[in-house]
Amino acid sequence: MTNIVSVFAEKCNDYQPNSVQNAVDSLISHMGGVESLVPKNAKVFVKVNLVREMSPEKCGTTHPEVVVALCKKLLTVTPFVTVGDSCAGLYNKATLSSVYSKCAMTEVEQRTSATLNREFGTGVADVDGVVLKQCEFTSAFLDADVVVNVTKLKTHSFTGYTGAVKNLFGLIPGLVKVEMHSRFPELPDFCNLLVDICEFARPKIVLNVIDAVWGMDGNGPTNGNPKFIGQILASANPYALDAVAVSLFGDPLDMPVLQTAVRRGLLCEDLSDVSFDFEQWKQSRLKDFSVPATDRLDFFGDQPAWINRLAKKYMVKRVYPDKTCRGCGKCATHCPAKAITVVKGRAKVDQKKCIHCYCCQELCPFNAVRFRTSPIYKIARRLSGKRDKKKTPSA
């Protein structure tokens, strides 16, 4: 029998404390109240999305106001609330202190008695997933009794969209994530990895929230355009939540992670297991929301291996640092394929080594990494009837 899961959405027009607190309170009450979600005195880890040092106005990270509102609710049942993430780069005090400060997450400590995670221990756990058998995770996650997963609605150059499921990749410490990109360079494997991590974490996750007051379209997850959406969404189920979030701007089944969830029987293809008023939701549908083309190369379904090889060689989008590159070397340090060198103050990519993970685009603090999409790719997508929903970014 199919389990029906509920998703809830509340309008929220701005990040004023009252607006956000009212929306969060209402969502939690729809879900049965905080006492029913979190055991008394439980150790709660609030997993936010702090991809890198970015101010909240850039709309690439979870807004602190949403985290403050959630923490205030959680603190009514337990004093043990820790907020954190393993962002891009090293998982240590220096990196996270700077990220907490730039992302204004420090407000959480100033305005509530929740604490920001400053313990950077890790542990290895058996995942027993489809592609991931064992993995190193942050102790902040492993030691928690329950997890609240709080992310941002935004696009992603590799996976198309990043929401509740993708946010859990940040349960893995810093450079281990880079290693994962090397081990799983192909999009289908990487999506299976994300679903493996999500399935491993799910028994602890009591609540998933998407901050979609302002989101990001275009070249997400860090270099896209802020986009007003005016919603906060919540569910106990991360796949259902992502399906509802994606349906604000497109077809959930166009997103590789959700396709993987469907293939693995974690979400019904027709979304009949999601209790949500999709008809009513159509009125909130976003216009001119630009979604980056993903490297889905399965143009013709189960195509022959030689088509896959050619597609991989000639059709994936390529990265190139443009003239705004300042030669800081951050991309080169974190490139999992060691494909970047900085020569005469400018990064250069060895396209033969590049595995198209797009971490350099995500990490570049100066938005200097551009994409070049192959014309053959565009033609193949058109022929296969899966034309990307690429549109002109809104102003």
Instruction: Provide, rounded to whole angstroms, the least separation between the CB of residue 362 and ligand SF4.
Output: 8
Q: Are strands 369-372 and 318-321 parallel, antiparallel or unpaired?
A: antiparallel
- Binding-site size for ligand SF4 (CB under 6 A) equals 28
Query: CB of residue 143 vs ligand SF4: minimum separation in angstroms?
Result: 31
Q: Which stretch binds ligand SF4 (CB under 6 A): 32-40, 75-83, 94-102, 356-364?
A: 356-364
216 within 8 A of 155, measured Cβ to Cβ: yes
Query: Structure tokens of 194?
Result: 């994300």
Question: Rounded to the nearest whole angstrom, what is the least distance from the CB of residue 156 to ligand SF4 in the complex?
Answer: 13
Give the residues across from 160 on adjacent strands: 156
Helix ranges (DSSP H) in the chain = 17-30, 34-37, 64-74, 93-102, 106-111, 139-142, 164-167, 174-183, 187-201, 238-246, 256-263, 278-281, 305-314, 330-334, 359-363, 375-383
Which residue among 321, 377, 381, 388 contacts ligand SF4 (CB under 6 A)?
Answer: 321
Q: Which of 325, 380, 381, 388 binds ligand SF4 (CB under 6 A)?
A: 325
> How big is the chain, counted in residues?
395
Read off φ and ψ for residue 17, nearest 5 degrees.
Answer: -50, -45
State the DSSP code for 393. P
| Of the residues 74, 150, 359, 380, which one makes contact with ligand SF4 according to CB under 6 A | 359
335 forms part of the interface with ligand SF4 (CB under 6 A): yes
Which one among 34, 68, 357, 380 touches ligand SF4, defined by CB under 6 A?
A: 357
> How many angstroms separate the CA atoms of 385 and 378, rounded?
11
Choices 40-48, 68-76, 161-169, 351-359 (CB under 6 A): range interacting with ligand SF4: 351-359
Binding status of residue 326 toward ligand SF4 by CB under 6 A? yes
CB of 36 to ligand SF4, least distance (A): 43
Q: CB under 8 Å to 374, separation ≥6 — which residues?
A: 314, 315, 316, 317, 318
Q: State which of residues 156, 368, 377, 380 lies at the interface with ligand SF4 (CB under 6 A).
A: 368
Give SS3 for 188. Answer: helix
Of the residues 68, 213, 293, 331, which one makes contact with ligand SF4 according to CB under 6 A: 331
Stretch that binds ligand SF4, among 19-27, 77-85, 297-305, 353-361 (CB under 6 A): 353-361
Interaction of residue 360 with ligand SF4, rule CB under 6 A: yes
In the three-class reduction of DSSP (H, G, I as helix; E, B as strand; rest coil), residue 46 is classed as strand
Stretch that binds ligand SF4, among 14-22, 106-114, 130-138, 318-326 (CB under 6 A): 318-326
Residue span binding ligand SF4 (CB under 6 A) among the ranges 51-59, 232-240, 297-305, 346-354: 346-354
Q: Which of 339, 377, 381, 388 binds ligand SF4 (CB under 6 A)?
A: 339
Contact between 87 and ligand SF4 by CB under 6 A: the answer reads: no
Segment contacting ligand SF4 by CB under 6 A, of 14-22, 73-81, 269-277, 366-374: 366-374
Buried-state track 108-142, b at ≥16 Cβ within 10 A, e below 16: beeebebebbeebebeeeebebebbeebbbbebbb
Shortest distance (Å) from residue 205 CB to ligand SF4 = 29
Please choose, from the candidates 299, 308, 288, the residue with its C-alpha nearest in 3D space to the C-alpha of residue 378. Answer: 299
Query: Phi, psi at residue 275, to the nearest 5°?
Result: -85, 100
- Distance CA(290)–CA(279), nearest Å, equals 22
Q: Does 342 bind ligand SF4 (CB under 6 A)?
A: yes
**Shortest Å distance, C-beta 183 to ligand SF4:** 13
Q: Is the peptide bond before 221 cis (omega within 30 degrees of 0)?
A: yes
Partnered with residue 231 across adjacent β-strands are: 11, 212
Binding stretches for ligand SF4 (CB under 6 A): 319, 321, 325-331, 335-337, 339-340, 342, 347, 349, 354-360, 364, 366, 368-369
